[in-house]
Structure 1
Amino acid sequence: MPGTTHRWCKWHVLRKAKEHLGPHYTKRSDFRAALHKVVNEMLTVDEFEAAWADLLDRYKLHNNTFLIQIFEVMHKWAKPYFSGKFCAKQTSTQRSESANHLLKGYIPPACPMNLFVKQYSKFQFDREAEEGFQEKRTRLGGVVLRYNFPREEHASQVYTRTMFEMFGQALYHAVRYDVEEVERGTRYHVRHIEAEKREKWCREMHTVDVHEGGARYTGECGLFEHMGMLCCHDIKVLLHLGVRKIPSFHVMKRWTIDACDNLPLHLIHYQKDQGPPRLSSYRHTALHLTALEFVQLGDSNVDAFDRAMDILIAGKAELTVLAAIKDGKSLVDQTQVGESANPTMTMMADGAHQEDERSEMFISTECGLGSVSVGGDSRHPLSTLLAPDRKKQKGRPTTVRDKPGYEIKYARSRFCTVCREKGHKSTTCPRRGDLLKKPRKIPTCGNCGVAGHKKTSCFNPVLPFVKRPRDGPVE
């Protein structure tokens, strides 16, 4: 996401401005408001450059080192330079910073692991409760229509409560514009009715293009491409053309009431926005059940298996000729037609496409098919769905689970304490140099203390046992 990976995000600019500009920033409230307006508002490139030049002229800051430095890297933090990138209106590190701020309210610093788990569970419960409250507020809360427009009523039915309030603000600002048709049905100019009262660097006119006969609108401000919500200029063109509902292309699902209605790709046809679920045809079901019975009979013995394979091979060759002509009512044809008509399936990423392939393989396995066709004519055997072969461990068989590599403890290998290499000890190390070897201790008898024999072969009389003073008094 642009503006998030580099340290020059807009919040960093405002924070550093307070440090570098000093009293000029803290004492001049008008300068502070002007700087926040330039940094935070969604402007075009020419508006931003004009507003920045006006800010420097008004407050005599042309020679300020900090402002010169951040203007040189404006493409890394200024919003107009990545207005066409979808960021869900988050163009800085505010998501991670807000998460850290929330965690600090629940988890104290240097807390033990048991307390962290307990407090994190409480934090998660509170967040889910807040999300549930917002869902209930959207579902049960009354909607107040300010203008009673058909577009406003449609927005109240599809958007969440918060996004509907944001749409209402854009609709409020759209009333202050006039529309001029430049090219019939394709291009319009939206002009502010009080342009003389606005800042001199603000643009008086914005261009809105209409594509595909009114199915898609693009404005110069790029608000929809940036956060997925129509801007006031696009809404004014909708009002001018008399469009009763927001185009489906501009209704982003993440801002709607059914945002949580996300199912896996092999069950996506059960979602509310995908229409009624597709049902298998009678002939597909009959063929499937008959094929299962045929497989069960052919698996009875070797003779039945050989005969079943001969029948299948001969039948496959005969059906190949008959299946060349399609009537379009088979389950495969209906699925392909449904996917081509669904724009969400054509815009899937590579990762989602791979997930769809795995889902199709799983479905084919449940249906009893031997292999599935994925991505054209490629065939994937069912062996790819099986678990990897378990590596046989040494020793007697056991029922203990297979442990990963980081849990297996290997015997510690010994190494030399002089050169830190394996294969020898410090006493036989070739790098010992002139280190002196410890003299070998001469063994002595444990009875008489004389060297040359052991206690078991000592001929001296056994001395009486005498306790030492620390052992206590001798009885």
Structure 2
Amino acid sequence: MNNSSNRQRNLGPGVQYLLDYMKRMQAENPGFFYATEGDSEHCGNVFWTDATSRANYSYFGDTVRVDTSYRTNRSKIPFITFTGINHHAQPVLFGCALLLNESDNSFVWLLQTWLRAMSGRSPVSITCDPDRLIQMAVAQVLPEVRSRFCRWSIFRQTQEKLSNVYQTNSTFDFELKKCVNEADAVEEFESCWATLLSRYYLMDNEWLQSLYNIRDQWVPIYLRDVFFGELSTVEHSDALSLFFDGLLSTSTTIQLLIKQYEKTITSWHEKELKDDFDTSNTTPVLKTPSPMEKQAANLYTRRIFMKFQGELVETLANPATIVDDSSTVIIYRVAKFGEEHKAHTVRFNAFEMKATCSCRMFEFSGIICRHVLSVFRAKNVLMLPPEYVLKRWTRKAKTGVGEAEPESAFGLPSNSQDSPLVRHNNLRQEAKKYVEEGAKSIHVYNVAMSALQEASKQVAAAKSKNSGTTLGTSEANGGTLEMHAIENQSASCLSREEKEKKIRELSTELERTNQRCEVYRAILLALFRDIEDQKLKLSVKVQNARLSLKE
């Protein structure tokens, strides 16, 4: 465990570069939030988050991962991230920080500042590294939130602490993770852990003993009564820490960090758009005649539906047997064929149509388990009761209160085009109409394609114009031509240093604008490709129809 404290880092001029970046971002977008701890000359810590991250928290802020792994690696940048998981089971960002002054109070300040940026709404659960400082801060700032240690961080530390064991026993890593991740009951974990230590002669190992003493804070079987959004305990990755995976190295500078930070955000946003598109425009293959499966296919995003479908199919091999039906709550025993020793208990209330399972998968991941589904199957429950569908996993995770409304909750204009999130949502919704209507017939397709091609030319022209005579214009700042004319007149009064600084600022603004244009261009190109695919499918249908008429 990492227990060091009161460590001060010095990143030189990089800190000022970061602060200048924060100020520019806040000037461009009122939803951008940043805060510093320390005086202006010796800034100790910086936290920041943008409008999209704050909006995402309103949708997916039920479980949060605070990644402070820089404290155990060799990165010279003290970079901390707050992440969650969206409706496609992808990591989403809630905020970032640089913690130059590492003390008890600094971590408390960080959590308090982050919580303030999220409008004071606490998550249901939080995952952090096994670090004394962050653990104390969580206990002080979020006392009602269920916390756990990141077990993948523990696995990494275990590999370092027991490097000789890993080198001489190739199966130890597999057996340790299987023991921790796949135990279906507390008794099973306890027995497996004791066997593991005995097999590798580690009964007196202090590190493993310390892990066992805090097992209720990191081993899944002790945590399944609370939602952590974890779809699989056996995936060999810490999904919530993957947002900035590989971002930091020993040579990373603040300037490079900011540049990579922006690229990473754009990349993950594009991945979410792709999954949104795939979920809306493709139909999953159903594996059963169950109306519940069809219902789930229409409710869930593609990734979540695949998880649900897997559980539903498993009901065929997990029959439910009545143990006690003497009261309104019927008790079932559900076990897989040949694995009766791993049976789970399901309590089903037929009047309320509610069921609970001893595996507590629904409480832990938000997806109903095969054991409850098996009971539903036995009781002829054909449709999934609404209380077993978490909205955060559905296609409509970001709807219901208005796509732009979360920005209003953070003091942002919900219908203003000053917000990049609002602009993006508006563009996406309009573009989808072209795809849906354009696929219906060749004539409408040609009209839609022509309109999109013309739009693409206009976007390119706007991009070219922006890089020419109006470099300083910023919609987010509400800039006008008159204002820039005044700026140009006063520019001659500026010193050489101020002019160079202004040029750097404008160049950075131009680069960001170009990046946004590239994102919109990518969306348009994706729509073109989809329309071409639809055209091809339609042409094949027409050709087949003609052939059938000739016959």
More relative contact order, 1 or 2 (CA 8 Å, 6+ apart): 2
Q: Report the TM-score when normalising by structure 1.
A: 0.49
For the pair shown, the structure with the greater C-alpha radius of gyration is 1
Higher strand share: 2
